Amino acid sequence: MELWPAESIWEQVSPLLPGFTVEVLPEIDSTNTELMRRARAGQTEPTLLVAERQTAGRGRMGRPWQSAVGDSLTFSLALPFAPQDWSGLSLAVGLSLAESLHPGIGLKWPNDLWWQDRKLGGILIEAATAGQQSQVVIGIGINIRPRPAEGLSTPPAALTELWPQATAGDALLRLSAPLVRTLLDFERCGFAPLQARFEARDVLRGRDVHTSDGLQGQALGVGPSGALRLLTASGEREVHSSEVSVRPVNTHPHTQT
């Protein structure tokens, strides 16, 4: 197993989240699936679960999430969570990760980390209710070192292209405490205070895009609730659904999205 900075993460995060634990597993089906199972079984302690290998990693919209052992960071964070409004949560998470990891990382609505028009990482957010308590599970996959394209015409981006010495453990240590702070702030204040910072990294703004549910138009940025604003032939439309994926019109269709 690689050396993980579990102790340092625990020292930084436990003052923010009482009862917090960090767990590293050599293998699991999916860190999100495991934390959702635990939540449904009533285990609601805040937990950061890292897996060195996932045998059934999941992406958004029912897609699989492939990651190369040793070359990627795959983890999930579960915590009790009860915001007034959940909209924009995935954008807030992406923004926190980008700001922690590198000034050059862009954000592709709703929740992808991008570098030079290629996907660097993704986020899968799920919610569970255990008794009276609502719990969120935030799963994050980040490519750390380059890997072959594996059927994709363009290989995904890797963090070492921006931060040459990066390891999965370094990245996890850098992003964990800021991510928890972002979530606690989001729970109180929602997405609106983050809108301008998201726009500064928005890679779609000004580009022609189409959505998986058939809309096409120019991306105008995001609104205060995190909705994607699109200028279509029939006027301005807001795209809210998290079950929609968006692709810039001039990106090759076989690029990982």
Q: Which residues are catalytic?
A: 60, 119, 247
Contact between 120 and 157 under an 8 Å Cβ cutoff? The reply is yes
Among 94, 141, 156, 190, binds ligand BTN (CB under 6 A): 141
At closest approach, how far in Å is the CB of 60 from ligand BTN? 4
Among 9, 44, 46, 60, binds ligand BTN (CB under 6 A): 60
Among 32, 44, 90, 211, binds ligand BTN (CB under 6 A): 32
- Please, which residue, 68 or 220, has the CB nearer to ligand BTN? 68
Among 20, 38, 39, 54, binds ligand BTN (CB under 6 A): 54
Backbone angles phi, psi at 167, to 5 degrees: -120, 170
* Residue 58 binds to ligand BTN (criterion: CB under 6 A): yes
Q: Is 198 helix (H, G, I), strand (E, B) or coil?
A: helix
At closest approach, how far in Å is the CB of 26 from ligand BTN? 15
At closest approach, how far in Å is the CB of 51 from ligand BTN? 7
- Please, which residue, 57 or 190, has the CB nearer to ligand BTN? 57
* Residue 211 binds to ligand BTN (criterion: CB under 6 A): no
Q: Report the distance separating Cα 257 and Cα 213, nearest Å.
A: 15
* Residue 4 binds to ligand BTN (criterion: CB under 6 A): no
189-226 b/e with 16+ CB inside 10 Å = b? ebbeebbebbeebbbbbeeebebeeebebbbbbbbebb
C-alpha angle 194-179-76 in degrees, rounded to nearest 5: 125
Burial label for 81, CB within 10 Å (0-12, 13-18, 19+), is: buried
At closest approach, how far in Å is the CB of 2 from ligand BTN? 16
Q: Which residues contact 62 (CB under 8 A, 6 or more apart)?
A: none
Count of residues that bind ligand BTN according to CB under 6 A: 20
Q: Report the distance separating Cα 228 and Cα 246, nearest Å.
A: 10
Contact set with ligand BTN (CB under 6 A): 30-32, 54, 57-60, 63, 65, 74-76, 112, 122-124, 139-141
